[in-house]
Structure 1
Amino acid sequence: MNPTNRATRVILMRHGRSTFNQQQRYQGSSDASELTEQGCETACQIGQWLQDLEIDAIYVSPLRRAKQTLEQIQPYLDHRIPVYVRPQLREIELPDWEGLPYEQVKTEFTELYQTWKQQPHKFKMGHRHASEYELEKHYGNTAVLTAPAPTATQTEYFPVLDLYLRAEQFWQDVLPHRPGQTILVISHGGTNHALISTALGLSPAHHHSLQQSNCGISILNVAADLQTAQLEVLNLTTPLGETLPKLKEGKQGLRLLLVPSDTNATDAAKLAEFLKSVPIEFSLASDLDHPTVDRLLVHHPRAVNLQVCREQFLQDWLGTLRWKPITISDLTTGLVVAPPASLQLLLAEATGLPLNQHRRFQLHPGCLSVLHYPSANQRPVVQAINLSTAGTAGLAAATQTSVTLGGRVNG
């Protein structure tokens, strides 16, 4: 197949654990933070995991912790791969918070912090002079951003909107030059979230809905026409020895393990071993999928099986969640087996994606996705999509066909 008719595969990697991560401080675009020993070790693990893939180019943030992550993985990759440092990939700018502990920000900036968590698209911070961009106008939950005159001064700075504009600019600058290729992007949690969101068409209003763990891997497939994209993998951390990504919003609320109902018996048995050490309190599935549930829960005999007659049960349950928000003080984990389209709708609901665009989330049989509802006052968080015990062989063999559904990535 002609490379120009194939999707461009984008592998997104967050930097390794940093000193500010360890100290629980806000980093933003500050360059005072650097990789810890653990951060270097996990970056090396990802380097080993990536070494069998054919990567055509690497793009990295200019911040030290990202470049140090690249230094750790480069020995495992082909030395001929070109590397490009792109300023658009730096982390979100939080000038008033950078270096401050999380808890101090929560207590001293209470109202602003709530806006940051609940309405990130309206989040404003400080003053910014000679800004690269300025807010031109609002419409709905999004904004149009344009470059100001050279002498312009911006008195209200919108960090999340600025981050999303930079992400869109990165796509416009890079994708036309990489048709049908595989590129590796090493940046930051917020930046990777914005890159995924702008590719799929997710609103900045749901900026905190996709988890990005240190050294977590996400994969986007961007169609040859640069108009559409699908998310194939989100926040893969199994190469680091983790079964599931660590909970970002605390060990509370409801965690759902989502498995497509078209998973065969062999893959279900592999997933059962994979989940052997994970506490699972209940399962939710239709009568038709009862055999699959039994295979998946072979190591969880005490899990309560909730069976329903209607195949479209998940849509009804979604409505229940909307009207009765989750209020679980401890962590409760449930297994959900449902048709792929139903699981895609659940993910779309969680991320604010229009439900008729649910196929932007590309789900594979035999793989596991994770959705966390922390509390009634917090948005749901998609922790992972398409976790699998397969190594790079499975990743390299995945289809590279043109994607026909997704959000605009060319602005």
Structure 2
Amino acid sequence: MCFTVYVMRHGQTDANANEIEQGSADFSRLTDLGKEQASNAYQALVDTRVTSIYTSPLSRARQTLEQLRQADASSTQTVLPPSDLILNDLREIDQYDWQGQSYSELKRQFPESWRAWEKGIPDEMKVLETATNVVHYPLLEMWERADRVWSEMLDLEKKRQDDDNEKDRSVLIVAHGNLGQALLGSAMGWDANSFNEKGVFGNCGCAEIEFLDLDTSPRKIANRWRWQWPVPSAWSPTTTT
């Protein structure tokens, strides 16, 4: 069997356009450009039949899925199933006190943590949560959450495969750019130090990840991956980092 997963980031938001850190907060919405990006990204899916959809609970991801559904409805042959499942763990990285602040202000206030964020140094990226007076390590937390997503989703897909008696399954995840990197890294067996090393998800960027089976005890790492949208890349096989 073959289990294929498409991980897509949401379209441009007003916060993206104004260089405001969103994190897992839900204050931003898609711009007109973001809606157009989402409609165009439907082309990444036209040659497959998606059997399941999982989404972030955040509005920008839900809006992106809505645009994909509109494009699907106007297509000559629909490829998306009518329902989807929201997973809270598919929210974007938790950025605590950084959320809602401009990039320029964060660079000024927290130069060391911002540098670690840009360079992908998980042990040095620290963010305070004032409400609890706890210092967090957001990249490490996000990677742990990505591991949980794969375990939960693979279990669900195994059950659906058995119930539907379908050998091959194709899943669409509509979520976020940083979380997308963690999902890719976790699937391929890379740790959080791989953040920003393999490229980043642009708005509505989509990675395709292929598993050879749905075994979860222990969970198998993916066989290979590639960028699928906006420009397809060559397949990259599993390697250790």
TM interval, short-chain normalised: 0.7 to 0.9
Going from structure 1 to structure 2, the CA distance change for 1:406 and 1:227 (only over 3 Å counts) comes to farther
CA contact (8 A) 1:121 1:204 kept: no
Going from structure 1 to structure 2, the CA distance change for 1:122 and 1:7 (only over 3 Å counts) comes to farther
Which structure has more relative contact order (CA 8 Å, sep 6+)? It is 2
**TM-fit CA distance, 1:213:** 0.6
Counterpart mapping for 1:306-321 below 5 A: none
| Structure 1 SS opposite 2:153 | helix
Counterpart mapping for 1:102-113 below 5 A: 102-113=103-114
Structure 2 equivalent of residue 183 of structure 1? 171
Counterpart mapping for 1:8-407 below 5 A: 8-75=3-70, 76=72, 77-78=78-79, 80-118=81-119, 119-127=121-129, 155-179=134-158, 180-209=168-197, 210-224=199-213, 225=215, 226-234=219-227, 236-238=229-231, 361-362=236-237, 405=238
CA contact (8 A) 1:8 1:221 kept: yes
**TM-fit CA distance, 1:157:** 1.5
Going from structure 1 to structure 2, the CA distance change for 1:235 and 1:112 (only over 3 Å counts) comes to farther
TM-score, L = length of structure 1: 0.50
| Structure 2 SS opposite 1:178 | helix
**TM-fit CA distance, 1:79:** 5.9
| Structure 2 SS opposite 1:122 | coil
CA contact (8 A) 2:50 2:81 kept: no
Report runs of 4+ in structure 1 exceeding 6 Å deviation: none
**TM-fit CA distance, 1:82:** 2.8
Partner Cα distance (1:228, 1:95) in 2:
30
**Worse-superposed segment, 82-91 or 45-54:** 45-54
TM-score, L = length of structure 2: 0.82
| Superposed CA offset, 1:305-350 (max 9, x none) | xxxxxxxxxxxxxxxxxxxxxxxxxxxxxxxxxxxxxxxxxxxxxx
CA contact (8 A) 1:15 1:188 kept: yes
CA contact (8 A) 1:220 1:231 kept: yes
Partner Cα distance (1:38, 1:14) in 2:
14
CA contact (8 A) 1:58 1:81 kept: no
**TM-fit CA distance, 1:31:** 0.6
Structure 2 equivalent of residue 304 of structure 1? none
CA contact (8 A) 1:123 1:160 kept: yes
Going from structure 1 to structure 2, the CA distance change for 1:154 and 1:88 (only over 3 Å counts) comes to farther
Partner Cα distance (2:80, 2:90) in 1:
22
Going from structure 1 to structure 2, the CA distance change for 1:236 and 1:78 (only over 3 Å counts) comes to closer
Going from structure 1 to structure 2, the CA distance change for 1:170 and 1:154 (only over 3 Å counts) comes to farther
Instruction: Indicate the structure with greater strand content.
Output: 1
CA contact (8 A) 1:14 1:188 kept: yes
CA contact (8 A) 2:55 2:87 kept: yes
Partner Cα distance (2:153, 2:29) in 1:
27
| Identical aligned residues as a percent | 30
CA contact (8 A) 2:113 2:124 kept: no
Partner Cα distance (2:130, 2:27) in 1:
20
Partner Cα distance (1:214, 1:24) in 2:
13
**TM-fit CA distance, 1:28:** 0.4
* Contiguous gaps of at least 5 residues in structure 1: 1-5, 130-152, 240-257, 260-359, 363-404
What is the count of residue pairs matched by the alignment? 219
Partner Cα distance (1:109, 1:82) in 2:
42
Partner Cα distance (1:103, 1:155) in 2:
24
Partner Cα distance (2:176, 2:28) in 1:
12
Going from structure 1 to structure 2, the CA distance change for 1:406 and 1:93 (only over 3 Å counts) comes to same
CA contact (8 A) 1:120 1:206 kept: no
Larger Rg: 1
